[in-house]
């Protein structure tokens, strides 16, 4: 079983899915990716989660993010479950669900935690950048549904901070002021951040979000 840490390359794999065979790295291409696992098909909380993701598809597309789910059941089971998701969540599932019956991907990504359940995956989430590096990992217990607004917020932060010398403060959301990273000298701020900045403390400098017009 592998241990994945932030900054590691996301392990590649080839697996069957509800939309055919997927080679993970090839499927991602130049996109960002969200890989999220489910304990099993026909589970109630997961049904609501997959419906939510389908409804957020346009938001993920806008951010150049591909989403893919995983469950330890097979493709045929996935297709039946998708019908239930579409019916009960008033949506159309528009992303693949990986069939991981042999637990190969689950073990590759350390999604099975024996003290929680020795057979079923926990609710893991991995956000992966276009260079295939793992940028975020969150693990939820089986009883707690995920907050996809929060995942979109994190993606906004990751994409912003990847291209600008800023970090995002507590409870930040797109459009809020950002923190100038400590590596930037105060005398260099005006050239890098022409919108201006506020020095709260020498180590805490705030600036308007730099990529907004």
Domain-located, residue 18: yes
Domain-located, residue 6: no
Of the listed ranges 15-29, 97-111, 160-174, 195-209, the one predicted with least confidence: 97-111
Spatial distance between the Cα atoms of 156 and 30, rounded to a whole number of angstroms: 17
What average pLDDT does range 64-77 have in this prediction? 94
- 187-205: pLDDT as tens digits: 999 999 999 999 999 999 9
Mean pLDDT of the chain: 92
Residue 120 has pLDDT above 60, yes or no: no
Domain-located, residue 76: yes
Residue 191: per-residue pLDDT: 94
Same domain, 139 and 169: no
Residue 140: per-residue pLDDT: 87
Residue 1 has pLDDT above 70, yes or no: no
Same domain, 67 and 106: yes
> Count of CB atoms within 10 A of residue 104's CB?
13
Higher pLDDT, 133 or 39: 133
User: Per-residue confidence at 102, pLDDT binned at 50, 70, 90?
Assistant: confident
Same domain, 173 and 87: no
DSSP 188: G
User: Per-residue confidence at 122, pLDDT binned at 50, 70, 90?
Assistant: low
The range of the structural domain enclosing residue 185 comes to 164-207
Same domain, 128 and 176: no
Residue with tokens 């217990």: 141
Question: How many angstroms separate the Cα of 94 from the Cα of each of 14, 48, 78?
Answer: 20, 14, 13
Per the annotation, the verdict on 178 as an active-site residue is: no
Domain-located, residue 115: yes
Same domain, 69 and 172: no
Same domain, 85 and 178: no
Domain-located, residue 99: yes
Same domain, 52 and 125: yes
Contacts of 53 (CB under 8 A, 6+ apart): 36, 60, 67, 69, 95, 148
The last residue of a domain, from among 93, 111, 146: 146
Higher pLDDT, 117 or 107: 107
Residue 121: per-residue pLDDT: 52
What average pLDDT does range 102-112 have in this prediction? 85
Same domain, 104 and 134: yes
* Residue among 46, 65, 122, 151 flagged as catalytic: 46
Same domain, 18 and 121: yes
Domain of 174, CATH number, reads: 3.30.1020.10
User: Per-residue confidence at 114, pLDDT binned at 50, 70, 90?
Assistant: low
Domain-located, residue 154: no
Spatial distance between the Cα atoms of 180 and 195, rounded to a whole number of angstroms: 12
Same domain, 73 and 137: yes
User: Per-residue confidence at 58, pLDDT binned at 50, 70, 90?
Assistant: very high
The count of domains in the chain is 2
The last residue of a domain, from among 111, 146, 181: 146
Domain of 117, CATH number, reads: 3.40.30.10
Domain-located, residue 7: no
- 144-186: pLDDT as tens digits: 899 999 999 999 999 999 999 999 999 999 999 999 999 999 9
Same domain, 133 and 202: no
Same domain, 140 and 44: yes
> Count of CB atoms within 10 A of residue 200's CB?
10
């Amino acid at each position: 079983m592998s241990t994945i840490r932030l900054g590691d390359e996301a392990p590649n794999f080839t697996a069957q899915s509800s939309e055919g065979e997927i080679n993970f790295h090839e499927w991602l291409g130049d996109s960002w990716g969200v890989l999220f696992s489910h304990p099993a098909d026909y589970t109630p909380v997961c049904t609501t989660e997959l419906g939510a993701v389908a409804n957020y598809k346009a938001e993920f597309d806008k951010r150049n993010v591909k989403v893919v789910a995983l469950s330890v059941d097979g493709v045929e089971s996935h297709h039946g479950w998708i019908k239930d998701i579409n019916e009960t969540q008033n949506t159309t599932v528009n992303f693949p669900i990986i069939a991981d019956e042999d637990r190969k991907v689950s073990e590759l990504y350390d999604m099975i935690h024996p003290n929680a359940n020795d057979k079923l995956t926990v609710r893991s989430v991995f956000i992966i950048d276009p260079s295939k590096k793992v940028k975020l990992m969150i693990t939820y217990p089986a009883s707690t549904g995920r907050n996809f607004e929060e995942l979109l917020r994190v993606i906004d932060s990751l994409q912003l901070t990847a291209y600008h010398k800023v970090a995002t403060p507590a409870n930040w959301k797109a459009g809020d002021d950002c923190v100038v990273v400590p590596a930037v000298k105060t005398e260099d701020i005006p050239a890098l951040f022409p919108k201006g900045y506020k020095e709260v403390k020498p180590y805490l400098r705030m600036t308007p979000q730099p990529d907004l017009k």
